[in-house]
Amino acid sequence: MNSIKTSLNIKIASLFPFYTLCKKEIICTLLSPFCPLLLVVTIFASSLSLLANNYWLSAGLSTLKNYFASIPLILIFTLPMLTMNVWADERKQNTSMLLLSLPISSRTIVYAKYTARLLVWLLMLILLMLPPLSLIFLLQIEVASFFLSYFVAFLLGASLLALSQVFSFVSIHPAINFLLSFLSIIVLNITQVFSPLFHKANLFWRILENIFSYISFSTHFENASKGIFDSRDIVFYLVVLLFALEVNVFIVKE
């Protein structure tokens, strides 16, 4: 029986390298010492954010706009923790060359590593849903807007995750990768703050103002935090996600 099971696993590994790599990455991520800390930080930060924005309780409001608006701030800390070891451990243990020498495309390797952490991010998002769902009997939450906000939050995290994974190539030291990813996500979330600095009469400065406002991840999440559907925000996150993954592929090939 064991030999049949082993043979079946070998066939699956040979036919579906993506599945095999993704399964290995999920196990490694979940068994890593920082994963429990990451999940605890996620549920603690989301609960603290909900309590900090508890004005809705005394005002009798059913909106959770401020709570959803705080999600990008939570991702600033959690996503770099999730990606800092993607390639650092491979390089530290000298398994990266072995992995790249296998008859598997670079794109398969990158997408498998990304998918594994995307599933962990989905688990984190479920934890982010628990605090507001615990108030479902106290508030008249609009279900469509509620889940729309979480859907766009998932795309926001997915795109930032892909960008954060790029920085895992920088060093074999996870702390350095974390710091670079952390700073980059902060910048990408606050670029709209600098757009008024370019509010000049000149056309060139107005273009810079629009660019800084457009590339801000928080700006694109603003509509979703209010429960408003805007397809342009979804397209923005998907474009960033695919671009960042292809940058990952390019770095691996080089």
Q: What is the pLDDT of residues 39-68, one digit of tens each?
A: 888 888 777 777 765 554 554 455 567 777
Inform me whether the pLDDT recorded for 214 exceeds 50: yes
Q: Where are the beta strands (DSSP E) in the chain?
A: none
38, 174 in Cβ contact below 8 A? Answer: no
Percent of the chain with pLDDT over 90: 6
DSSP H helical ranges for 93-142: 96-101, 106-133
- Give per-residue pLDDT as tens, 165-205: 888 888 888 888 889 888 888 887 776 665 565 566 566 66
Q: Is 254 exposed, middle or buried (0-12, 13-18, 19+ CB in 10 A)?
A: exposed
Average pLDDT, the chain: 76
Q: Could you give the CA distance from residue 250 to residue 76 in angstroms, rounded to a whole number?
A: 25
Angle at CA of residue 182, ends 176 and 184, nearest 5°: 105
Q: Could you give the CA distance from residue 161 to residue 156 in angstroms, rounded to a whole number?
A: 8
- The encoded tokens of residue 105 equal 């495309």
- The encoded tokens of residue 69 equal 């608006």
Inform me whether the pLDDT recorded for 11 exceeds 50: no
Inform me whether the pLDDT recorded for 74 exceeds 80: yes
pTM for the whole thing?
Answer: 0.80
